[in-house]
Amino acid sequence: MKQLPEFLEEINQLMCDGNLDLASKQLRTRIKSEPDNCLLRKMLGDLLYLQGQVKEAITIFEKIIRKNPKFTAALYGLGIAYYRAGNLLLAIEQFEKIIAINPSLAMAFYWLGISYRHLGEEEKSIAAYRKLIELSPDSEIANYHLAGVYMFKKNYREAAKYLSQLAKISSENAEVFYRLGLCYHNLELYEEAVQNYKKALELNPDNSRCREMLDLIIHVDEP
């Protein structure tokens, strides 16, 4: 039998090559001889998730957690699998467990934020995204999603703050400038709105929504 590091390298190569079925088969075989190896089981759970076998992945992650409740990588995999299965409350439970164990794991706050958002709990979603930004100020997904929550709440001033930060980080993202234009438009800051609409169109000339919003401002005084 190959040594574990060599075996794991082989599995990783199979995954990189897209040969997930063979990787899964080899992992199952190895687990039979090492049934208590949580790392191998975690890798199998990840593979099954990637293959769309979410229910079986959940079963494997749950077994790992029963054996090792503080295995944060398995909790993370379980949380994402629950999220994909639509079990948002169970997903939240896993991400909160991760944060309790290690509050510096930034992506747990991302998944916590998006889970709360889908439950309609905007304030809890905002709190999670803000914590993610504390840990990772240049996180594009945190700034984008936090701005999205504020836009949903029609708090365009706060949304513009995070979109402006995102525009510095992701200066080639047309959608960011379009959304920033919408915020300024709703705040009746028309000069800033026009500037951002034009930037969005420069980056993506096919954005018909943006062109329509720009025309609304430019031709506002026309009969």
Per-residue model confidence (pLDDT) at position 99: 97
Q: Locate tokens 């979109």: which residue? A: 163
Per-residue burial over 102-139, b if 16 or more Cβ lie within 10 Å, else e, is eeebebbbbbbbbbbbeeebeebbbebbebbbebbeeb
The verdict on residue 189 lying in a domain is yes
Give Cβ neighbours of residue 32 (< 8 Å, ≥ 6 apart).
none
Number of structural domains, the chain?
Answer: 1
Helix (H) or strand (E) run with residue 18 in it: none
Query: What is the C-alpha to C-alpha distance for residues 125 and 207, in angstroms, rounded to an integer?
Result: 29
- Which pLDDT belongs to residue 222? 46
Domain that holds residue 192: 158-223
The per-residue pLDDT for 220 is 57
> What helix, strand, coil percent values describe the chain, rounded to 5?
80, 0, 20
pLDDT value of residue 218: 85
Residue 208 lies in a domain: yes
Asked if residue 223 belongs to a domain, the reply is yes
In a domain, 197, yes or no: yes
DSSP state of 188: T
What does each C-alpha distance from 3 to 46, 64, 175 come to in angstroms? Answer: 21, 22, 49
Indicate if the alpha-carbon torsion angle 160, 165, 168, 174 is positive or negative.
negative
Could you write out the DSSP letters of every residue in 155-174?
-HHHHHHHHHHHHHH-TT-H
In a domain, 199, yes or no: yes
Q: Tens digits of per-residue pLDDT, 114-135? A: 999 999 999 999 999 999 999 9
Q: What's the pLDDT band for 45 if we cut at 50, 70, 90?
A: very high
> Is 207 a member of any domain?
yes
**Does residue 211 sit within a domain?**
yes
Residue 192 lies in a domain: yes
52 falls in which pLDDT band (50, 70, 90)? very high
pLDDT computed for residue 214 by the predictor: 93
Model confidence at 223: pLDDT above 50: no
pLDDT at 152 over 50: yes
Residue 217, domain CATH: 1.25.40.10
* 4 — pLDDT class (breaks 50, 70, 90): confident
57-79 burial, b for 16+ CB within 10 Å, e for fewer? bbebbbebbeebeebbbbbbbbb
Provide the mean pLDDT of the chain: 94
CB atoms within 10 A of CB 212: 10
